């Protein structure tokens, strides 16, 4: 078999999926904002704008002012101009917001604002808006904005409520302390590992403990001299980003560099720290692949340079992920290494099938087996008599190109032809395909599979429980 190699290289995958709009946090303190209209809806926008420190000027005749708007004026939060917006001079406004009765007025208001280069929003009329107001979670100075780009405001509100329930009120104190101590931390701590260690510690504590300035001061002292170079092997799971563990998420968010495999999904990479450099080090049978030696060398070089490296592997790093080789090399180089487990494909397949791999009526054990050796063929040292054990559920990884020979060897070893078999590709990701068959027909079924997709083969009596369930559903 001809093996083509490639060098680790920066990923061409985009770091960010397409955005329908750009979220921007705009400082309005001391800036003039024009608000056209005196309705209750306009009053809510006025209150929101005033909360940012903006100077809110309301253009509306006195007889059109709602009680809410009159109350804001009485409290000094807004200034009433006492006239329709068409009578005002536009110079000097940072933003314009209008509550317009109809499309014609909205069009005129938006056109007037744009003539003077003023960004404009027309309430409930997105066609005339340069920007949108999203739902807000306020833990100021920590502010979370949620937008559906006008498509589903109620959904945005529901998301806001969910986030509100997740973020403790104490985050306000933590964010305030962070702003207060930021200059000192920047002065005292070196860029890179020292600062990252300090801010990561603050972020971890902020969700669980009250904010105390003295504690932050001690963290600055403890962060001095931090050596950040280390490698974390992270299991990315089979593809569905929701299978990631919280610990995996934290590792991705703390990474300086991410070395990832071909099979890691874009959805998982989307959750990584935006600033992290991403390097594709894919290893796929029959395709251009990076040499393991090059991957090891890249990890060691980056870690010795003080980088926090995440080696992101599909599935679980300790299941046919060459983690042992990488850990050994890192240990020899004196590089600290951690491992974050992931959901291996076999377990994700069991979940998709709603199948117990160790159903007590027919399987007393489960075995993970590689069907792909270094030369691309079946391993030569497999114990076929053990693999033909009918009381064990077997999961064969990387079984695409060797499944035909694998089935023949199992039949020769005495495994019953009627033994249930499941082929699965792209488990838990787009394009997932699951094929139910039996051992005697598995060779024919394998010919129809896309060998370029990741394939796992499940064999065992436990699979008959899912086959029976499928028959009951279709009966």
- For the chain, residues with pLDDT lower than 50 are 1-5, 468-469, 471-475
Bridge-based pairing of strands 455-459 and 392-397 is antiparallel
Q: Which CATH architecture has domain 230-343?
A: 3-Layer(aba) Sandwich (3.40)
What distance, in Å, lies between the first and last C-alpha atoms of the chain? 47
One of 283, 313, 316, 389 is an active-site residue; which one?
283
pLDDT value, residue 4: 41
Spatial contact of 44 and 66, defined as CB atoms under 8 Å apart: no
DSSP state of 315: B
Geometric angle at alpha carbon 245, from 229 and 266, rounded to 5°? 80
3-state DSSP call for residue 277?
Answer: strand
- Collect all residues with Cβ–Cβ distance below 8 Å to 117 and sequence separation of at least 6: none
Q: Phi, psi at residue 153, to the nearest 5°?
A: -55, -35
pTM for this model (two decimals): 0.68
Q: Which CATH architecture has domain 346-472?
A: 2-Layer Sandwich (3.30)
Instruction: For residues 305 and 297, give the distance between their C-alpha atoms in angstroms, rounded to a whole number.
Output: 12
pLDDT value, residue 208: 80
pLDDT value, residue 446: 81
pLDDT value, residue 303: 93
One of 99, 261, 316, 389 is an active-site residue; which one?
261
Kindly report, residue by residue over 91-130, the tens digit of the pLDDT.
Answer: 999 999 999 989 999 999 999 999 999 999 999 898 999 9
Q: Which residue do the tokens 């010919």 mark? A: 447
Instruction: For residues 126 and 108, give the distance between their C-alpha atoms in angstroms, rounded to a whole number.
Output: 14
pLDDT value, residue 287: 55
Partners of 120 in beta bridges:
96
Spatial contact of 6 and 290, defined as CB atoms under 8 Å apart: yes
3-state DSSP call for residue 459?
Answer: strand
Q: Which residue do the tokens 């068959």 mark? A: 437
Instruction: For residues 391 and 416, give the distance between their C-alpha atoms in angstroms, rounded to a whole number.
Output: 12
Domain 32-133 falls under CATH 3.40.50.720: yes
Q: Cα dist. 103→99, 106, 135, 242, 317 in Å?
A: 11, 5, 24, 43, 58
Partners of 366 in beta bridges:
393
Number of H helices, E strands in the chain: 16, 20
- Collect all residues with Cβ–Cβ distance below 8 Å to 166 and sequence separation of at least 6: none
Q: Is 291 a catalytic residue?
A: no
DSSP state of 462: T
Q: Phi, psi at residue 146, to the nearest 5°?
A: -125, 130
Token pair for residue 385? 């008599």
Instruction: For residues 260 and 237, give the distance between their C-alpha atoms in angstroms, rounded to a whole number.
Output: 12
Instruction: For residues 314 and 346, give the distance between their C-alpha atoms in angstroms, rounded to a whole number.
Output: 12
Q: Phi, psi at residue 440, to the nearest 5°?
A: -65, -25
Spatial contact of 368 and 342, defined as CB atoms under 8 Å apart: no
The number of angstroms, rounded, from the C-alpha of 135 to the middle of its chain's C-alpha atoms is: 21
pLDDT value, residue 474: 38
Q: Is 261 a catalytic residue?
A: yes
Q: Cα dist. 121→97, 132, 210, 378 in Å?
A: 5, 7, 39, 64
Q: Which residue do the tokens 């005292």 mark? A: 188
């Amino acid at each position: 078999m001809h093996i083509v190699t490639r060098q680790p290289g920066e990923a061409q995958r985009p770091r960010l999926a397409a955005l329908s709009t750009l979220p921007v946090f705009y400082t309005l303190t001391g800036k003039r904002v024009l608000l056209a209209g005196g309705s209750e809806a306009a009053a809510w926008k006025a209150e929101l704008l005033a909360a940012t420190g903006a100077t809110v000027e309301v253009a509306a005749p006195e007889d059109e002012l709602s009680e809410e708007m009159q109350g804001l004026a009485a409290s000094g939060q807004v200034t009433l101009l006492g006239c329709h917006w068409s009578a005002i001079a536009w110079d000097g406004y940072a933003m314009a917001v209008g509550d317009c009765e109809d499309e014609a007025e909205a069009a005129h208001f938006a056109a007037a604002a744009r003539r003077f280069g003023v960004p404009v929003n027309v309430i409930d009329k997105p066609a005339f808006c340069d920007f949108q107001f999203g739902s807000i979670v306020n833990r100021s100075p920590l502010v979370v904005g949620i937008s559906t780009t006008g498509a589903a405001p109620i959904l945005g509100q529901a998301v806001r409520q969910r986030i509100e329930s997740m973020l403790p009120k104490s985050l306000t104190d933590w964010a305030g302390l962070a702003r207060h101590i930021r200059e000192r931390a920047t002065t005292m701590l070196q860029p890179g590992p020292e600062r990252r260690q300090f801010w990561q510690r603050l972020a971890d504590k902020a969700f669980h403990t009250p904010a105390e300035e003295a504690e932050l001061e001690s963290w600055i002292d403890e962060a001095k001299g931090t050596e950040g170079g280390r490698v974390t092997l992270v299991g990315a799971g089979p593809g569905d980003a929701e299978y990631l563990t919280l610990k995996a998420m934290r590792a991705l968010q703390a990474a300086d560099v991410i070395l990832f495999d071909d099979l890691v999904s874009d959805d998982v990479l989307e959750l990584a720290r935006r600033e992290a450099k991403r390097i594709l080090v894919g290893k796929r049978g029959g395709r251009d692949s990076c040499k393991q030696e090059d991957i090891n060398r890249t990890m060691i070089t980056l870690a010795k340079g003080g980088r926090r490296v995440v080696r992101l592997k599909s599935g679980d790093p300790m299941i046919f992920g060459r983690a042992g080789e990488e850990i050994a090399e890192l240990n020899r180089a004196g590089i600290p290494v951690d491992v974050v487990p992931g959901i291996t494909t076999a377990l994700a397949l069991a979940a998709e099938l709603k199948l117990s791999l160790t159903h007590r009526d027919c399987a007393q054990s489960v075995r993970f087996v590689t069907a792909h050796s270094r030369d691309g063929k079946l391993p030569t040292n497999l114990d076929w008599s053990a693999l033909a054990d009918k009381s064990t559920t077997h999961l064969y990884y990387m079984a695409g190109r060797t499944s035909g020979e694998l089935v023949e060897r199992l039949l020769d070893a005495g495994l019953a032809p009627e033994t249930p078999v499941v082929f699965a590709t792209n488990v838990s990701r787009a394009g997932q395909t699951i094929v139910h068959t039996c051992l005697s027909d598995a060779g024919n079924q394998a010919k129809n599979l896309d060998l370029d997709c990741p394939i796992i083969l499940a064999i065992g009596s436990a699979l008959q429980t899912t086959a029976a369930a499928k028959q009951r559903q279709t009966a």
